[in-house]
């Protein structure tokens, strides 16, 4: 098999990522304030939909550069246009969509138009002769039509069309999965790009928990909380850097979609950690919310074992990781009325899994 030469992540791509730091902070703020001791379902669904819309925009840009980008003028112009529009989009993320409906979706429309221009004119290929290019352009065109129609109709009914457009952009590639060619994907570049967006998400978590790092340096709660986040990040680093085979031919669909849900889980964890000092928040809800978010995060990590050097995990590995998960969640449940106890239980999960994956990486 021909060796895959990793495409270098450009400075412009990293510059583009900076606006997503702001976008992620705005998304987290959507569920920053609990209501009646918990988090209502509608705001949380809106939170998930916004993450999907923002991430599918990021993914289409990353996939264009991954497959067709060559640091040409058209790539630079397209990326800058998308970044300009993304700044407006991020600034209009909130929970009252009747106010920001138009500027938010106008920004989406401009970004999708920019992406269509990049795919059509920057790829250097004819859409009918390249199945990947054809699939991307169909998905983006349908998204553009739905969002444009939504803007024309207006907020009351148009918001449904705009959401539909974002979901089409997100789901459509799955419908034509087999049309994509693994050999067109620069897999190591894709792994690196997705790792960077996860680092940005963890950065948002760290910024939000800095409030707990006050007073005595050896505060037990601060130490355990830091250990929880460090080992949670460690599980990702070990898998991404050591267990995943970067030089393989793959469409990368599991990798991409799992990272979207990983971001949902991490930002949910971030919000849950924000709720810790709020006495009005139900402790049962807080335990459930944090535990479920951690389970989703772990599930996303496990999904990516299909890319491991050594293949899928053994039954004994599942048994060990499952036992750690159950034990930690039970400890968190029993001690849920105390912040230190709750986080200690979750840390049992993250630290145990991090240690196990580290051992697996060393053996490999």
Hey, where are the domains in the chain?
A: 11-182, 187-363
Cα 138 from Cα 91, distance rounded (Å): 28
- pLDDT at residue 37 in the model: 83
139-150: burial string, b at 16+ Cβ within 10 Å, e else: bbebbbebbbeb
Mapping DSSP onto H, E and C, the string for 83-120 reads HHHHHHHHHCCCCCHHHHHHHHHHHHHHHHHHHHHHHH
| pLDDT per residue as tens, the chain (364 positions) | 466 788 889 898 999 999 999 999 999 999 988 888 889 899 999 999 999 999 999 999 999 999 988 777 888 999 999 999 999 999 999 888 889 999 999 999 999 999 999 999 887 787 778 888 999 999 999 999 999 999 999 999 999 999 999 999 999 999 988 889 899 999 999 999 999 999 999 999 999 999 999 888 889 999 999 999 999 999 999 999 999 999 999 999 999 999 999 999 999 999 999 999 999 999 999 999 999 999 999 999 999 999 998 877 888 889 999 999 999 999 999 999 999 999 999 999 999 999 999 998 887 6
Cα 210 from Cα 222, distance rounded (Å): 9
DSSP letter at 74 equals H
59's enclosing H/E stretch is: helix 41-67
CB 137 within 8 A of CB 118: no
Burial label for 265, CB within 10 Å (0-12, 13-18, 19+), is buried
pTM of this prediction exceeds 0.85: yes
């Amino acid at each position: 098999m021909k060796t895959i030469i990793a495409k270098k992540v450009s400075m412009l791509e990293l510059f583009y990522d900076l606006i997503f730091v702001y976008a992620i902070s705005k998304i987290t703020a959507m569920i920053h304030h609990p209501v009646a001791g918990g988090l209502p379902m509608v705001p949380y669904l809106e939170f998930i939909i916004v993450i999907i819309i923002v991430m599918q925009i990021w993914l289409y840009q990353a996939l264009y550069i991954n497959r067709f980008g060559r640091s040409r003028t058209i790539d630079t112009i397209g990326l800058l246009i998308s970044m300009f529009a993304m700044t407006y989009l991020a600034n209009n993320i909130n929970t009252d969509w009747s106010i920001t409906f138009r500027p938010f979706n106008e920004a989406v429309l401009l970004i999708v138009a920019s992406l269509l221009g990049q795919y059509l004119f920057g790829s250097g290929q004819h859409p009918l002769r390249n199945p990947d290019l054809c699939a991307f352009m169909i998905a983006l065109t349908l998204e553009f039509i739905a969002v444009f129609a939504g803007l024309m109709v207006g907020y009351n009914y148009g918001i449904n069309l705009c959401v539909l457009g974002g979901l089409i952009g997100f789901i459509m590639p799955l419908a034509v999965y087999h049309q994509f060619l693994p050999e067109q994907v620069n897999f190591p570049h894709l792994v690196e790009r997705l790792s960077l967006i996860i680092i940005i998400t963890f950065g948002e978590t760290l910024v939000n928990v800095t409030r707990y790092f006050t007073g005595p340096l050896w505060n037990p709660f601060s130490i355990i909380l830091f250990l929880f986040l460090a080992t949670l990040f460690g599980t990702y680093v070990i898998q991404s850097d050591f267990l995943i085979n970067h030089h393989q031919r793959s469409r990368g669909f599991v990798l991409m979609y799992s990272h979207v849900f990983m971001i949902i889980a991490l930002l949910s964890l971030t919000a849950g950690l924000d709720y810790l000092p709020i006495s009005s928040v139900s402790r049962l809800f807080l335990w459930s919310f944090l535990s479920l978010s951690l389970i989703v995060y772990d599930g996303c990590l496990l999904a990516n074992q299909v890319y491991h050097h050594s293949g899928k995990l053994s039954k004994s590995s599942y048994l060990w990781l499952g036992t750690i998960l159950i034990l930690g969640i039970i400890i968190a449940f029993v001690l849920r009325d105390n912040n230190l106890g709750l986080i200690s239980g979750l840390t049992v999960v993250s630290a145990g899994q991090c240690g196990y994956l580290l051992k697996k990486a060393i053996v490999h």
